[in-house]
Amino acid sequence: MMEKSSTEQARRFDDIKANYYEICENIEKAAAESGRSANDITFLAATKTVEPEFINYAVSLGLKYIGENKVQEMLTKYDEYDLDNSQLHFIGHLQTNKVRQIVGKVSMIQSVDSLKLAQEISKQSLKNNVATDILLEVNVGREENKSGVLEENLEEILEKISVLEGLRIRGLMSVPPICDSKQEIFKFFDKMYKLFIDISSKKSDNIYMDYLSMGMSDDYMEAILSGANMIRVGSGLFGARIYR
């Protein structure tokens, strides 16, 4: 890797700082508009491809949640995260055979999309004597190439997962399709909110609908307006991703 000049690095820190405060302001605005306060919204930074020094800088500004997408990348960066001041979530597609590598290291797995995966999280959590919080990922746009549970299967899978030990269902997560218009994205966010409320209202044992995680850099304000209480922002905070 090329040495970065210190001015380039300083500029990146400045950008992250400006972005961080702007996002916080926007969260406050959108929260207020939906009758809530910024404290009701969890701001998680999606940190894929971002070096720990920049992640930790955002944490020093007040960021409290970070989310990684890839097991290998997360493990490589793991020792460098400032986890005294932040919580680590896993937000990417997770293969069952990699669960044991992250259980005990992450406080939440947001991308649970099958019973089999939940069973493995349960097994590994019990083995490690921890309880892992999970969100069920919903494929709200019914996209072939995307993971996530289809809405018609959600209740059945939630019920089966809810009896597993070593994990706690804490809510729903979604990555809606890329949309051309705000109107279109609202349709998906509103559908997610409805599912979230429907499940909450059933008050089933061991199913806690505390979090509705949706909204990314381009649409987190719309997500909040639709009822999201956790957003996942990457490039809007750290700048465009550079894949190496």
Ligand X SMILES: *Cc1c(COP(=O)(O)O)cnc(C)c1O
**Residues found near ligand X in the complex (CB under 6 A):** 46, 48, 69, 91-92, 175, 216-217, 232-236
Q: Which amino acid is at 66?
A: I
Report the greatest alpha carbon distance in the chain: 56
- Give the distance from CA 146 to its chain's centroid: 16
Q: Which is nearer to ligand X, 121 or 164 (CB)?
A: 121
What minimum distance in Å lies between the beta carbon of 47 and ligand X? 9
Cα separation of 145 and 89, whole Å? 23
- 108-114-88 Cα angle (round to 5): 15
What minimum distance in Å lies between the beta carbon of 70 and ligand X? 9
What minimum distance in Å lies between the beta carbon of 167 and ligand X? 19
Cα separation of 201 and 5, whole Å? 54
Q: Which is nearer to ligand X, 48 or 100 (CB)?
A: 48
Q: Is-contact 119 164, C-beta < 8 A?
A: yes
What minimum distance in Å lies between the beta carbon of 200 and ligand X? 22
Cα separation of 170 and 32, whole Å? 24
Q: Which is nearer to ligand X, 99 or 228 (CB)?
A: 228
Q: Which is nearer to ligand X, 29 or 146 (CB)?
A: 146
Q: Which is nearer to ligand X, 95 or 156 (CB)?
A: 95
What minimum distance in Å lies between the beta carbon of 237 and ligand X? 8
- Residue number with the shortest CB distance to ligand X? 234
Q: Which is nearer to ligand X, 25 or 198 (CB)?
A: 25
What minimum distance in Å lies between the beta carbon of 133 and ligand X? 16
How many helical (H) and strand (E) elements, i.e. helices and strands, does the chain have? 9, 8
Closest C-alpha among 65, 77, 74, 67 to residue 99: 74
- Give the distance from CA 137 to its chain's centroid: 10
Q: Which is nearer to ligand X, 109 or 169 (CB)?
A: 109
What minimum distance in Å lies between the beta carbon of 114 and ligand X? 17
Q: Is-contact 133 170, C-beta < 8 A?
A: yes
- Give the distance from CA 44 to its chain's centroid: 6
3-state secondary structure of 89: strand
Q: Which amino acid is at 188?
A: F
